[in-house]
């Protein structure tokens, strides 16, 4: 089943220099395992390819049902150097929530995951 992160997680992002951090938090405790298994470092790096110039690093916070991603080179130099509207990475959070992941049907059904909305949903590569 295709599942959109927006429907199973919430998120907040911030900055540290030219690095944006995105904390992704499961909407239900039992959905954390889905984030942990399917929202991998590589998957997130692929999602943001072309939009960031550096590496992606992932940390796990099972105590909060959360993952924390560092997206290096995400902010056009960051801080005052950046010319971007989102120079401080405040809405990189919802950019990550656009991601659509494939979850095996039996797991998705058992966890009652909401399916991604119709064909117009953004499709991850």
Partner 1 sequence: MSAPRVVRVASGQGFWGDWLEAPRRQVTGGPVDYLMLDYLAEVTMSILQKQKERDPSLGYARDFLGAVESVLPAVTGRGVRVVANAGGVNPQACAAAVRALPGGRDAGAKLRIGVVLGDDLLPRLDALIAAGHPLANMETGAPLSTVRDRVLSANAYLGSGPIVEALAGGANIVITGRSTDTALTMAPLRHEFGWAADDYNRLAAGIVAGHIIECGAQCSGGNCLYDWREIPDLGEVGYPIIEASADGTFVVTKHPGTGGRVSTQSVAEQLVYEMGDPHAYITPDVIADFTTIRLAAEGTDRVRVYGIEGRPATPSLKVSVAYRAGFKAVGTLVYAWPDAFDKAQLADRVLRERLDHLGLRFDRILTEFVGAGATHGALAGPPSEDLPEVQLRVGVRGSNRGDIERFTREIAPLVLNGPPSVTGFAGGRPKVEEVVAYWPALIDKRVVQPSVTFQ
| Residues lying near partner 1 in the complex (CB under 8 A) | 10-18, 21, 23, 25, 27, 47-48, 50-51, 59-66, 68, 70, 76-77, 79-81, 83-86, 91, 93-95, 98, 122
Of 83, 84, 67, the closest CA to residue 32 belongs to 67
The nearest distance, CB 24 to partner 1, in angstroms, is 8
The nearest distance, CB 84 to partner 1, in angstroms, is 7
The nearer residue to partner 1, 84 or 110, going by C-beta atoms, is 84
The nearer residue to partner 1, 40 or 68, going by C-beta atoms, is 68
The nearer residue to partner 1, 40 or 94, going by C-beta atoms, is 94
Beta-ladder partners of 47 = none
CB count, 10 Å around CB of 47? 23
The nearest distance, CB 67 to partner 1, in angstroms, is 9
Of 102, 78, 105, 100, the closest CA to residue 89 belongs to 78
Are the C-beta atoms of residues 69 and 96 closer than 8 Å to each other? yes
DSSP state of 84: S
The nearer residue to partner 1, 60 or 102, going by C-beta atoms, is 60
The nearest distance, CB 112 to partner 1, in angstroms, is 18
Planar angle of CA 46, 50, 55, nearest 5 degrees = 60
């Amino acid at each position: 089943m295709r599942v959109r992160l927006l429907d199973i997680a919430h998120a907040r992002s911030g900055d540290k220099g030219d690095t944006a951090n995105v904390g992704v938090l499961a909407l239900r405790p039992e959905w954390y395992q889905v984030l942990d298994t399917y929202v991998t470092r590589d998957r997130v790096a692929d999602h943001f390819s072309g939009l960031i110039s550096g590496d992606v690093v992932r940390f796990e916070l099972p105590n909060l049902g959360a993952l924390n991603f560092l997206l290096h080179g995400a902010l056009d130099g960051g801080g005052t150097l950046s010319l971007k509207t989102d120079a401080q990475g405040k809405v990189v959070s919802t950019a990550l929530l656009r991601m659509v992941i494939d979850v095996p049907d039996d797991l998705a059904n058992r966890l009652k995951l909401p399916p991604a909305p119709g064909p117009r949903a953004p499709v991850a590569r």
